[in-house]
Amino acid sequence: MLEQYYIWCLAVVTIWLQVHVVSARDLRIVTEPKTPQSCTALKATSGDETKNIQNALDSCTRGKAVELSSGTFYSGPLTIPSGVSLLVGSGATLKALPDPTLYDLASKTCGTQDQYGVGCKAFITMHGATGSGIYGKGTIDGQGGEEMTGKNEAWWKMPANTNAKVNVRNAPRLIQINDSIDIILYQITLKNSPLYHIATSETYGLTVWGITIDTPSSAPNTDGVDPMGSQNVTIAHCSISTGDDNVAIKAITAPSRHISVLNNHFGTGHGMSIGSEITYGASDITVSGLTLDGTTNGLRIKSNTFRGGLVTGVTYSDVCMRSVKNPILLNMEYGSNIVGNLTPEFRNITFTNVKVLTSGTFTFDGLSDSKPIEATMKDVHIKKGSKWISKHAKISGTWAEDATGRVCGTTGNE
């Protein structure tokens, strides 16, 4: 009896700890995903494979995956139905055909620049899906650097519209996941997206585990993983090198909260970002075990009075950086010419066990002393010769210019 009582007490304490101590993260218990069984295995032919793959996806049993088993598959846009997954095997590559007409959303702007940049659908879409995913050790290649069909330019290099005041590229995102539940991306390699690699909107339960993103640093707007208005998100054991934010958490249409970014490695890119669109608020975010090697920014929260909102309950721990220009950049004046009346607030931001092995600029750029940036530092070690800029910011705790060592480990610790 007594033993049962102790076990019961232990269970209560454990649950209490999970609720109260780790609430700044994905509330689900997330473990390494398992690849589903295949409903069919396809081999590549040399033609346009869109119809074959889409038909296989549409007729696949829920809980199973359409396997691309070997060869190079060329395809236009695909939709992954609810409950079904796509599995790209280790010998297979899925390439996005670079023909803008295939992705055009009826305005004939895909493949051109205009003021809006919303003229193309994504290469792979999930919409209203539950339990779908993308798996496998193969590659999905967006071919952003290839010449577009019927044009002399690549997606990344399309010419500016001389009539428009603002030029935004209309190019497909690689993977767009909207209004979905329990989505998994596992092991897959993504490269050369024409625009963002993975973007979600109002998706609850997203696990991105052990994937690789490998795109040149010169490729514009090629964000790695962008959870937007999404909750219960885990991004773990990934390696991300790209040409824009490695990860960017945004809140344009709904709040983003309960997000864990665990044990990842970032190569080139614009860093671990929150913002700039945070109108609905971003909170309860843990970034732990992160190495940044050669990103332009490290830990960044960016917004402005046009896209502002509340960012709170963010903890960064066990982070190691090398060759990062702006290791910490908290900025409320991002894109200084964009102004409105949505004042950003950054509160309860904690940095614990952060090592920065090369000198850089640390910026805390708030907007007013009535609502300063509030951050806490514990065990923060930076390189001698670094620059520290603090405006309308309340920084508690201490940091020291005593970082030593030349290389980071793979997951944040030396």
Ligand X SMILES: *[C@@H]1O[C@H](CO)[C@@H](O)[C@H](O)[C@H]1NC(C)=O
| Residue 107 touching ligand X (CB under 6 A) | no
Active site (annotated) includes residue 258:
no
The only residue of 40, 50, 72, 125 in contact with ligand X, by rule CB under 6 A: 125
Site mask, ligand X, residues 289-308, x = CB under 6 A?
--------------------
- The piece of 55-63, 227-235, 322-330, 391-399 that touches ligand X (CB under 6 A) is 227-235
Nearer to ligand X, 41 or 252 (CB): 252
Find out whether 196 and 222 touch, Cβ atoms under 8 Å: yes
- 140 and 88 Cβ atoms separated by less than 8 Å: yes
Binding ligand X (rule: CB under 6 A), the pick from 14, 18, 23, 55 is 23
Looking at the Cβ atoms of 198 and 408, the one nearer to ligand X is 198
Cβ nearer to ligand X, comparing 145 with 275 = 275
H helices present in 74-202, as ranges: 100-103
**Binding characters for ligand X, 341-380, by CB under 6 A (x = yes):** -------x--------------------------------
Quick one: 201 or 326, whose CB is closer to ligand X?
Answer: 201
Taking CB under 6 A as the criterion, the residue among 74, 103, 155, 204 binding ligand X is: 204
Site string for ligand X, 239-268 (x = CB under 6 A): -------------xx---------------
How many residues touch ligand X under the rule CB under 6 A: the total is 18
Shortest reach from residue 92's CB to ligand X, in Å: 25
In the block, tokens 């102004």 appear at 339
First-residue to last-residue Cα distance in the chain: 47
User: Token digits for 281?
Assistant: 């608020």
Give yes or no for residue 69 binding ligand X (CB under 6 A): no
| CB of residue 410 to ligand X, shortest distance in Å | 25
**Does 28 sit near ligand X (CB under 6 A)?**
yes
The DSSP secondary-structure symbol of 384 reads T
In whole angstroms, what is the distance from residue 26 CA to residue 140 CA? 27
Q: At CA 316, angle to CA 315 and CA 317, rounded to 5?
A: 115
The residue to which tokens 């005041």 are assigned: 165
Least separation in angstroms between residue 20's CB and ligand X is 7
Q: Taking the C-alpha atoms of 362, 367, 370 and 375 in order, what is their torsion angle to the nearest 10 degrees?
A: -20
Q: What is the rounded CA–CA span in Å between residue 141 and residue 212?
A: 12
Q: Residue 184 and residue 79: Cα distance in Å, rounded?
A: 15
Minimum distance, C-beta of residue 344 to ligand X, in the bound complex (Å): 17
CA atoms within 13 A on the CB side of 246: 32
Residue that is written with structure tokens 């050369």 in the block: 192
Please identify which residue in 231, 263, 264, 326 interacts with ligand X, judged by CB under 6 A: 231
Q: Does 313 bind ligand X (CB under 6 A)?
A: yes
**Is residue 27 close enough to count as binding ligand X by CB under 6 A?**
yes
Element (H, E) at 12: helix 2-20
Interatomic CA distance for residues 275 and 250, integer angstroms: 5
Residues 6+ apart with CB under 8 A from 409: 291, 320
CB of 313 to ligand X, least distance (A): 4
The distance of closest approach from Cβ of residue 195 to ligand X in the complex, given in angstroms and rounded to an integer, is 13
**Catalytic pick among 20, 197, 270, 381:** 270
Q: Comparing C-alpha atoms, which of 150, 224, 146 is closest to residue 190?
A: 224
Q: Which alpha helices (DSSP H) does 161-220 contain, by range?
A: none
Among 113, 178, 203, 363, interactor with ligand X by CB under 6 A: 178
**How many Cβ atoms are within 10 Å of 135's Cβ, its own excluded?**
23
Instruction: Quote the least distance from Cβ 33 to ligand X, whole Å.
Output: 16
Smallest separation (angstroms) from ligand X to the CB of 59: 22
Q: Which of 265, 389, 387 is nearest to 319 (CA)?
A: 265
Q: Closest Cα to residue 279, out of 306, 259, 298? A: 306
- Interface with ligand X includes 176 (CB under 6 A)? yes
Stretch that binds ligand X, among 22-30, 88-96, 267-275, 355-363 (CB under 6 A): 22-30
Catalytic residues: 270
Residues that bind ligand X (CB under 6 A): 23-24, 27-28, 125, 127, 176, 178, 201, 204, 228, 231-232, 252-253, 313, 315, 348
